[in-house]
Amino acid sequence: MKQSLFVYNTLTRQKEEFKPLNAPHVGMYVCGPTVYSDAHMGNARTYISFDLIFRYLSHLGYKVRYVRNITDAGHLESDADEGEDKISKKAKLAKLEPMEIVQKYTVGFHEVMQVLNILPPSIEPTATGHIIEQIELVKSIIAEGYAYEVDGSIYFDVEKYNQKHNYGVLSGRNLDDLLNNTRTLGGQEDKRGKLDFALWIKAKPEHLMKWTSPWSIGFPGWHLECSAMSRKYLGDQFDIHGGGMDLIPTHHTNEIAQNEACCHTNPARYWVHTNMLTVNGQKMSKSLGNSFLPHELFSGNNKILNKAYSPMTVRFFMLQAHYRSTLDFSNEAMEASEKGFKRLMNAFNLLDGLKAGNKTEVEIEPIRNRCYEALNDDFNSPVLIAELFEATRIINSVHDGKMVIDEKNIAELKALMNDFVIDILGLKNEQAANDELPRVVDFIVNLRSEAKANRDYATSDKIRDGLQKVGIQLKDSKEGTTWTKI
């Protein structure tokens, strides 16, 4: 790509040219979900945003190692090391093993990622799989003099750290401000300073998930896992670290402090943060009770929804906003996105039937260049989509015989739509998928009839049960076999 890519860096509060440390390799770490409940649409927004970044960097030819963790231990109910571990609490309430909770919600999270066509990361490490690395990190931070022990728990000494470093480097706030605006909560008597945070927490006897360490039987603080796992898989310093903006003041601020303390460097060159999905202007969040789940959106089964929306309509809705702008959910906005997405895909489906003329009234290359310009300007997906609607207008005009373009430009139009709509925006042609389904099922049902005719009942049953599992029910009668979607 001739033009340069510019990325907004939260650390420097400006757009900077993207220069990977070790091109063509790019290391990217994104904080993953805490798997104690279903991922809601707000979480999905953040992962769609990073999926776009992952896809675009890959399209540009970078070899991206994308690490997105699963938080399966250590995330307490409050950011101030207060309350119970979210997963343990849920496990106790449901009378299940914590790992049953982890398994259930990890599987659910993957299903949501898949229907929204979010590519899997290159590595998906878990906090519980990296306890040894986290303990080693705590040892290094203690050795550097930035942590202290109180009764088996280890705390990070923020004020001491700030004497040599800038603790508020990411949030842009200075320590005095932070100290004046932080309340001292009950139960934190162990800490020397109000901003100190736990690296290792001694477990109370009833705590379910705990490990042996040099200090106590306990569990790691939440911020530690990302420092340990990003370092293990991407090195002391890598290119991009991301997550939602709500992670800036505490989780990412503390992660930077931990890495600076043990490895003498900020772990990432570019800190990238997505803005929030809101409902009536309020952040969508489990604790505020205004969140809804992706499958509720796909089925329309939630009182705030007027109807159901397809997964790709939802993805398109998210991509129509820039990742650093807030995006407010409303039925009206979803309906507008549904219309827009249909218009884009209807044009996409006309591409194969377009007839070439012997002259061209419009060149496609300038549109392709403007698409790159949009994405090179901090992954500006709404501007990109506006350019794709320009391409849509051309496709429709050529199809209606109101415009003539030659074979070269038709080929460029097809390549443009394939690259930007399918590969980079990650939108799928749902219409085509639905059109093909009956033909595919009919084909399989015929195979089964052949097996039955050959008295191969094992194969025939296997096909019936397999179809049942993917939601297709067969009904045998004297007239033959019919099928329905369940």
Residues of this chain that bind Zn ion (CB under 5 A):
31, 226
Measured from the CB atom, the residue of 279 and 413 that comes closer to ligand AMP is: 279
Interface with ligand AMP (CB under 6 A), residue from 11, 26, 28, 31:
31
Measured from the CB atom, the residue of 228 and 384 that comes closer to Zn ion is: 228
Q: How many other β-carbons are positioned within 10 Å of the β-carbon of residue 159? A: 14
The token pair at 229 is 């796992």
In whole angstroms, the minimum distance from the beta carbon of 98 to ligand AMP comes to 16
In whole angstroms, the minimum distance from the beta carbon of 244 to Zn ion comes to 10
Q: Taking CB under 6 A as the rule, does residue 266 contact ligand AMP?
A: no
Q: Taking CB under 6 A as the rule, does residue 368 contact ligand AMP?
A: no
Which stretch in 187-195, 228-236, 272-280, 387-395 sits in contact with ligand AMP by CB under 6 A?
Answer: 272-280
The token pair at 35 is 């798997």
Q: What is the DSSP letter of 126?
A: B
Measured from the CB atom, the residue of 107 and 143 that comes closer to ligand AMP is: 107
Which stretch in 13-21, 280-288, 348-356, 373-381 sits in contact with ligand AMP by CB under 6 A?
Answer: 280-288
Handedness of CA 286, 291, 296, 301 (dihedral sign): positive
**Contacts of range 408-413, beta carbons closer than 8 Å, 24 or more positions apart:** 408/360, 409/360, 409/362, 409/363, 409/364, 410/351, 410/354, 410/356, 412/364, 412/365, 412/368, 413/351, 413/354, 413/364
Identify whether the C-beta of residue 115 lies closer than 8 Å to the C-beta of residue 58: no
Partner in contact with 193, chosen from Zn ion, ligand AMP, none, beta carbon below 5 to 8 Å by kind: none
DSSP letter string over 377-396? Answer: BT--HHHHHHHHHHHHHHHH
Which stretch in 121-129, 269-277, 384-392, 428-436 sits in contact with ligand AMP by CB under 6 A?
Answer: 269-277
Q: Taking CB under 6 A as the rule, does residue 210 contact ligand AMP?
A: no
Report the residue closest to ligand AMP, judged by CB. 244
Identify whether the C-beta of residue 430 lies closer than 8 Å to the C-beta of residue 386: no
Identify whether the C-beta of residue 311 lies closer than 8 Å to the C-beta of residue 373: no
Residue 83 backbone phi and psi in degrees, to 5:
80, -170
Quick one: 78 exposed, middle or buried, by C-beta within 10 A (0-12, 13-18, 19+)? exposed
In whole angstroms, the minimum distance from the beta carbon of 40 to ligand AMP comes to 7
Going edge to edge, which strands form the sheet with 268-274?
63-68, 25-30, 238-244, 268-274
Interface with ligand AMP (CB under 6 A), residue from 9, 10, 34, 253:
34
Q: Taking CB under 6 A as the rule, does residue 42 contact ligand AMP?
A: yes
Q: Taking CB under 6 A as the rule, does residue 277 contact ligand AMP?
A: yes
DSSP alpha helix (H) spans, 235-302: 253-263, 294-299
The pattern of x and - marking residues 285 through 314 that bind ligand AMP according to CB under 6 A reads x-----------------------------
Which stretch in 31-39, 60-68, 181-189, 440-448 sits in contact with ligand AMP by CB under 6 A?
Answer: 31-39
Measured CA to CA, the distance from residue 198 to residue 370 in angstroms comes to 48
Measured CA to CA, the distance from residue 121 to residue 119 in angstroms comes to 6
Q: Taking CB under 6 A as the rule, does residue 283 contact ligand AMP?
A: yes
Which stretch in 38-46, 122-130, 225-233, 299-307 sits in contact with ligand AMP by CB under 6 A?
Answer: 38-46
Partner in contact with 226, chosen from Zn ion, ligand AMP, none, beta carbon below 5 to 8 Å by kind: Zn ion
Quick one: 351 exposed, middle or buried, by C-beta within 10 A (0-12, 13-18, 19+)? middle
Instruction: Find the binding residues for ligand AMP in span 53-72 (CB under 6 A).
Output: none
Which positions touch ligand AMP (CB under 6 A)? Answer: 31, 33-34, 42-43, 45-46, 243-244, 246-247, 274, 276-277, 283-285
